[in-house]
Amino acid sequence: MFRLTESSRLSEFERKVLPHLDAAYNLARFLMRNEQDAEDVVQEASLRAFRFFESFRGENSRAWFLRIVRNTSFTVLKKNRPDEMNVAFDEELHGGQTPAMDAGAALDRAQDRQTVRAAIEQLPPEFREAITLRELEGASYKEIADIAGVPIGTVMSRLARARHQLQIILSKPK
């Protein structure tokens, strides 16, 4: 009987949480910036999520799971790469004011996938997180706030600054 209960818990978890494995990996991949660490983080976060599945109240399973993934990622980053956590993007160094460019044309250069991915990876972790969730996962401000554990106003300002920095990085000649 207990075996049955446990396996039904597993199948419920597989049904509700595992569909978000791509989103989880995508977030971890941009936060950790390499495949191996991203896989480790997602594996660890999946187990953690399964252990705490009782605490899931049936609201938004994607946000719930991604919150665990981002917390696991930041824990690993802080432990293994503390120097990366403190590197703030120097807006002055990277050109200060957004160049008055013809936005459409200047960004054409950036169309290829690797260039844009590499540009996102140059951002500080919290900004990578905001951009990934908003632009790649289509999360609302409210969801991002829930996942990152910050107020909506912070989400708004992180997104604004992250986009500003991306514009600077992408409009630079290679």
Partner 1 sequence: MNHDDIRELLHAYADGELDLINAREVEQHLQSCDNCRREAEQIRALREALAADSLAYCAPRRLRRNVRAALRREAKTSDKGFSLWLIFATGAACAAILFGFVFFQTTRLSRDNTIVDQVIANHVRSLLATHLVDVASSDQHTVKPWFDGKIDFAPDVHDFSMSGFPLVGGRLDYLDGKTVVALVYQRNKHPINIFISPVPGSGDSAPASSSSRGYNIVSWTHREMRYWAVSDLNETELRQFVGLVTR
Residues binding partner 1 (CB under 8 A): 2-3, 5-7, 9-10, 13-14, 18, 21-26, 29-30, 35, 38-39, 42-43, 46-47, 50-51, 98, 100-101, 103-104, 107, 110-113, 116-117, 120, 131, 134-137, 140-141, 156, 159-160, 163, 166-167, 170
Sequential DSSP letters for 84-152: HHH----TTTTTSSPP---HHHHHHGGGSHHHHHHHHHTS-HHHHHHHIIIIIS---HHHHHHHHTS-H
Pick 89 or 141: Cβ nearer partner 1? 141
**SS3 of residue 173 by DSSP:** coil
The amino acid sitting at 93 is L
Least distance from partner 1 to the Cβ atom of residue 101, Å? 8
Least distance from partner 1 to the Cβ atom of residue 126, Å? 16
**Cα torsion at 152, 155, 157, 160 (round to 10°)?**
-130
Are 167 and 98 spatial neighbours (Cβ–Cβ below 8 Å)?
yes
Are 109 and 101 spatial neighbours (Cβ–Cβ below 8 Å)?
no
Pick 33 or 67: Cβ nearer partner 1? 33
Pick 17 or 82: Cβ nearer partner 1? 17
Pick 25 or 56: Cβ nearer partner 1? 25
Least distance from partner 1 to the Cβ atom of residue 64, Å? 16
Least distance from partner 1 to the Cβ atom of residue 102, Å? 9
